[in-house]
Amino acid sequence: MNSNKRYILNIVVGQNSTINIPIVTADTALVIRIESNGDALVIYLGKRFQNDADYASIPNFQLNGDYTGLYSSAYTPSGTRSLLEPAIQVVHADGNPSLDLKYVHHQQNTTNQSSDITLTTIYLKDPAYQFEVTLNYKAYYNDNIIEQWTTIQHSETGVVRLEKYCSANLYLASANNYYLTHFHGDWSQEMHPAEVQLTAGIKILDTKVGTRTNTFQASSFFISFNQPFDHNDDDQGEILAGSLAWSGNYKIEFEIDPLGNLRLLAGINPYASEYYLTAGEEFITPSFLFTYSSRGLGTTSRNWHRWARKYRIPMGQNDRWIYFNPWSATGFNYNETLLTALMRDAKTLGVDLFVVDDGWFGNKYPRDNDRQGLGDWQENVKKLPHGIDYLTNVTETLGIKFGIWLEPEMVNPRSELYENHLEWVIRVPNRPEYYMRNQLVLDLSNPVVQEFVYDTLDGMLTKHSMVSYIKWDCNSVIYNAYSTSIRHQSHLYIDYVRALYNIMGRLRTKYPTVPMMLCSAGGGRVDYGVLQYFTEFSLSDNSDGLERVFMQWSYSFFYPSIATCDGVASQGQQPLKFRTDVAMMGKLDYGLLVSKLNPTDLLFSQQAIQTYKRLKDTIWHGDLFRLVSPYGMGNDVASLIYVNQTQNHAVWFSYLVNNRYRAGTSRPIRVKGIDPNKKYRLQEVNIYPGTDNSTIINAINLSGDYLMTVGFDPMVNAQRSSVIIEFQLAN
Ligand code: DGJ
């Protein structure tokens, strides 16, 4: 396509005139200014002004000593006059490495999807080359989320090499200091927050692991303006929270420029990923999503939750099934007889769904351990002599659903798949293989492999009509990145993720209502790119109740509880009630062996599931208010409340997170999010059978105003290490 024909090449802006393009939500404005020389600059990101005309009064940063006029570029080119980190770096078809981007035109439309959404597109072009960049900004008005991505294309004679291609390039200039909170970890240690003050230079969050992208560093973060984030105050301060919707290598850069302002660049990691773009081809970056609030992290979290339920996570406003998955108790050691017994136990427990995890497949190389069988997706005839349908018949008879585990992107070297299709495997042919969990990653950049992965899932769902839930696992990173089929090796990391999304998208289209759980050795792959296709995700393989309080807390900064699978399992020193109460603040699931429960534990668990079914609508679809943070200095407890949309019902969770002598609550905790003008009846729920009635909180009526001004003491202590209080309207 010849871009000359599409756009008026002369810059539309007249001499000495500028255009301000406000991209607004209910509370936030991002303002792009087109300078008279055609440069697109970010002149404002923050609280929305009452009057859009006032954005014109914001001064230019060049006046303060920007030598280039580009420090605040909305998409910083490289190789011309910019001196700072670029958003885009290219080598043109003629070998010239310079790029300049000038405004051509822009448009703002309310999309068909909903009048809540406005799409702003700003078209930029290199005056010297047929090279174009489109900046796309989708503003979700009511939920205060802005989604940004970039489209790159050219009509040069030959191939252009893209060396860097960010999704977003923002500029923040309103604060004196910026404090970044990011989340690091490893297997079983997901989402540990760390805060740094951003100082002159660049702080980078990135990953190069290829698949389990969150393994070491999450692609979600938040920035507190002017002061360190105060974990004891969720409602104050300016916060910008961001998240890159990409399940592959990413790079997020925070550069404090010579003016002391913050440049934020986010996108696919250019590491080993030069992209060769042919004429007419579009390179569309993943989305960078962000939300801003001048009212603290509590507000930005609720923005994410509401938006994700409405626009991103499949069936985010619907129901979920509580599952029982015995994996953490059985591992690979099961057969049809044991599974049948466990299914009966699941029924006894009262869950909705039974999940058969890893180990059900492979014949030449039976999947009896993690060293073999991965990729051979046929029922193991010894373990399941009558196949999957026999099992689904059992669950059908019991009146529960059946779900199954797959890890379709992977292969063990000891497998028939590997023996027959070595060329499907990501590996460097002339180097030794290197494994994570004894497995390798399939080369999804190869269309034949894509079909194999799609068919694995599709075959499972079509051949076994009563399979109604999928757990999709991903346990290995990519080592020795090399494809035997791809033209440019440097496309592999990108094409892998695109192919993955393509497969998942096809499956979602064909099976729009099948719940699918995203797992990656726990929470190794959690982002809003892949969550377009999955109804829920695994937080972690670590099900220790105390660890989960902290993890769930961190996840709650970005992800809604309806999507967070929280299994009650046997890990951890805490009592069963504590572990159950913790799981109930997310999506309650089970991994306990019923046969190992004493009668009281079983009764408690059965009652807990029934209680949860009554409370779940508020937990899943209500607003979250964090009251006392486990990360807050000197806090013995963690406490949070979910309030439904009508403010008629709330569920309040509190947990002891410190074992010191006399640790616990000693004074009331102020409640948030309820209606000050309503009167609530507070009743402790999920009580362990046999608990002395005088030690529980029983039917206390208090006004919303009182609860939010004075508060209420849930009386958490070593004897009451977790407490759930239900709020209902008092008569
Ligand atoms: C890792 C997952 O996180 C576990 O839940 C389980 O599915 C195993 N993989 C199975 O290999």
Per residue in 442-456, pLDDT (tens digit) is 999 999 999 999 999
Question: Which of 475, 526, 537, 568 maximizes ligand 1 atoms within 8 Å of its Cβ, making it the mutation to test the pocket?
Answer: 475
> What pLDDT score was predicted for residue 731?
82
Q: How confident is the model at residue 13 (pLDDT cuts 50, 70, 90)?
A: very low
- In the predicted model, what is the mean pLDDT of residues 666-695? 97
Using CB distances shorter than 6 Å, the residues near ligand 1 are 327, 357-358, 405, 473, 475, 519, 521-522, 538, 541
Average pLDDT over residues 184-212: 98
* Confidence band for 570, pLDDT divided at 50, 70 and 90: confident
What are the pLDDT digits (tens) for 245-303? 999 999 999 999 999 999 999 999 999 999 999 999 999 999 999 999 999 999 999 99
What average pLDDT does range 522-534 have in this prediction?
A: 97
CA of 145 to the centre of ligand 1 (A): 33
Asked if the model's pLDDT at residue 360 lies above 60, the reply is: yes
Question: Which residues, listed in sequence order, are joined to residue 725 by a DSSP beta bridge?
Answer: 652, 684
Percent of the chain with pLDDT over 70: 97
**Phi–psi pair at 462, nearest 5 degrees:** -85, -40
Continuous segment of H or E residues that includes residue 504: helix 492-510
Angle formed by the axes of helices 336-349 and 599-621, to 10°?
Answer: 70
How many other C-beta atoms can be found within 10 angstroms of the C-beta atom of residue 346? Answer: 25
| Per-residue pLDDT at 12 | 44
Amino acid at 259: L
Compute φ and ψ for 450, nearest 5 degrees: -55, -45
- The mean pLDDT of the chain is 96
Task: Report the separation in Å between the CA atom of 280 and the middle of ligand 1, taken as the mean of its atom positions.
Answer: 43
Question: How many CB atoms within 10 Å of residue 191?
Answer: 24
Tell me how far the alpha carbon of residue 201 lies from the centroid of ligand 1, in angstroms: 40
Contact 222, 300 (CB under 8 A): yes
Q: What pLDDT sits at residue 399?
A: 98
Give which of 274, 266, 262 is closest to 250, Cα–Cα. Answer: 266
CA distances from 398 to 251, 319, 391, 508, 588 (A): 48, 21, 11, 28, 21
Residue 29 structure tokens: 């404005």
Q: What is the dihedral of CA 230, 232, 236, 242, to 10 degrees?
A: 60
Supply the pLDDT for residue 5. Answer: 31
Length of the chain counted residue by residue? 731
d(CA 375, ligand 1 centre) in Å: 15
In percent, how much of the chain has pLDDT > 90? Answer: 95
- Is residue 1 very low, low, confident or very high in pLDDT (cuts 50, 70, 90)? very low
Ligand 1 centroid–CA 29 distance in Å is: 42
What is the structure's pLDDT at 573?
87
Place of tokens 């986010």: 266
| Cβ atoms 361, 411 nearer than 8 A | no
**Ligand 1 centroid, distance to 538 Cα (angstroms):** 9
pLDDT of residue 368: 98
Per-residue pLDDT at 64 exceeds 90: no
In this prediction, residue 572 carries a pLDDT of: 83
pLDDT for 16 equals 57
- Tokens for 239, please give them: 């916060």
CB–CB of 404/388 below 8 Å? yes
Locate the ligand 1 atom nearest the alpha carbon of residue 357 and give its number.
Answer: 7
Q: How confident is the model at residue 566 (pLDDT cuts 50, 70, 90)?
A: confident
Q: What is the DSSP letter of 719?
A: T
Residue 7 has pLDDT above 70, yes or no: no
Q: Which ligand 1 atom lies nearest to the CA of residue 437? A: 11
Rounded CA Rg of the chain:
27
Q: Which of 704, 686, 710 is nearest to 643 (CA)?
A: 704
The residue assigned the tokens 């996840």 is 555
Q: What is the pLDDT of residues 124-139, one digit of tens each?
A: 999 999 999 999 999 9
Q: Is the pLDDT of residue 14 over 50?
A: no
Residue 112, pLDDT score: 59
Q: Are 382 and 335 in contact (CB under 8 A)?
A: yes
| Protein residue with its CA nearest to atom 3 in ligand 1 | 521
Instruction: Write the single-letter amino acid at 496.
Output: Y
pLDDT of residue 36: 95
What are the distances in angstroms from CA 302 to CA 2, 305, 489, 624, 691? 44, 5, 41, 7, 35
pLDDT in tens, 409-449: 999 999 999 999 999 999 999 999 999 999 999 999 999 99
Indicate whether this model's pTM tops 0.85. Answer: yes
Element (H, E) at 201: strand 201-206
Decide: 287 and 245 in contact? Cβ < 8 Å: yes
What are 40's two structure tokens? 């697109």
By the 8 A CB rule, do 143 and 303 touch?
Answer: yes
Please state, in angstroms and rounded to a whole number, the distance separating the CA atoms of residues 518 and 471. Answer: 6
CA dihedral 644→534→292→673, nearest 10 degrees, is 10
Is 222:242 a contact under the CB 8 Å cutoff?
A: yes
pLDDT value, residue 113: 58
Average pLDDT over residues 680-699: 97
Residue whose Cα lies nearest atom 10 of ligand 1: it is 358
Distance from first CA to last CA of the chain, Å, rounded?
68
Which residue's CA is the closest to the ligand 1 atom numbered 11?
A: 358
Helix (H) or strand (E) holding 665: none
Assess whether pLDDT exceeds 70 at residue 23. Answer: yes
Atom of ligand 1 nearest to the CA of 471: 7
Measure 482 CA to ligand 1 centroid, in angstroms. 26
Question: pLDDT digit string (tens) for 590-645?
Answer: 999 999 999 999 999 999 999 999 999 999 999 999 999 999 999 999 999 999 99
Mean of the pLDDT values across residues 37-52? Answer: 96
